[in-house]
Amino acid sequence: MPPLVLAVANQKGGVGKTTTVINVGAHLAELGRRVLIIDCDPQANATSGLGIARRDIPASTYDVLVLGRPLAEARMHTSIPGLDLVPSDIALAGAEIELVGVARREKRLTYALEALADDPLDYVILDCPPSLGLLTVNAVVAAQALLVPIQCEFYALEGLGLLTHTISLLRRELNPHLRIAGIVLTLHDGRLTLAGQVVDEVRKRFGDLVLEPVIPRNVRLSEAPSYGLPITAYAPTSRGADAYRELAAHLDARLQAEAGLATAPSLA
């Protein structure tokens, strides 16, 4: 079977998308899954967070989306066994302008991923920029499932209605088969009453779509990217590592159980 393509997206920045991409990907690899992360964000944080320097990149997501180069030319191994990466580059910032006149521009990534049909990968994880521009649209069109990180702070509550509307719009206009793999609650500070209120409200709104556990605000998680390592390699016994390890196992079990299902959970 072809790999399951999972887009990690939220139009709000600073919610832990890239941290979730890197650490879920690394822990899935730890479970024995074969994972490919595609960095679709011009900031290239997933690329640097996995220890890949710009000078070592033979080709990037820009080359794949804009220049039409094969995905295999940009694919790189990381220091984590079973985890590969298609890196990003600052040139990707101009992709939306360069693709304006290209036919079926919203399916460029979908076409590139067709090369993985016979690849022994289990998961392809797409790290999306914090916007609903053409790069995120490409990721959502290419994905079978969506993973949505939500920060445990006040603005997350304000954005719940917009998030629900956005997902419904993406399904209606671009990818009717898109399902929700889960909601990830991130940056939780147990000392704050508000954090608990956000968790309760999100669970009330999204029910079983909310994955366990809640990801704590953790110093080791913040430090790991500066060393170019996922938390599984940087601080494997930390609270952050334990949380993402449990989350990855929960997500993997859910996705395997859902494999082949055509219906998507309702957001109504």
Cα 258 from Cα 25, distance rounded (Å):
19
pLDDT for residue 24: 97
List the one residue out of 71, 129, 81, 38 whose CA is nearest residue 230.
Answer: 81
| C-alpha closest to that of 23 among 245, 251, 226, 218 | 245
Q: What is the largest CA-CA distance in the chain?
A: 51
The pLDDT, as a whole number, for residue 166 is 81
Choose among 219, 228, 211: nearest CA to 22: 228
**Which positions ≥6 away from 88 have C-beta within 8 Å?**
39, 40, 41, 42, 43, 44, 46, 47, 60, 61, 62
| pLDDT, position 268 | 41
Pick the CATH number of 4-258 from 3.40.50.300, 3.40.190.10, 1.10.1040.10, 3.40.640.10: 3.40.50.300
Q: Where are the domains of the chain?
A: 4-258
Could you give the CA distance from residue 125 to residue 136 in angstroms, rounded to a whole number?
Answer: 13
Q: Which helix (H) or strand (E) holds 168?
A: helix 154-173
In the predicted model, residues of the chain with pLDDT beneath 70 are 260-268
The full DSSP string for 49-80 is HTT--GGG-SS-HHHHHTS---HHHH-EE-SS
What is the rounded distance in angstroms from the CA atom of residue 81 to the CA atom of residue 61? 22
pTM of the model: 0.92
Q: What is the pLDDT of residue 260?
A: 57
Q: How far apart are CA 107 and CA 140, in angstroms?
A: 10
pLDDT tens per residue, range 188-247: 988 888 888 889 989 998 899 999 999 999 999 999 999 999 999 999 999 999 999 999
pLDDT value of residue 170: 83
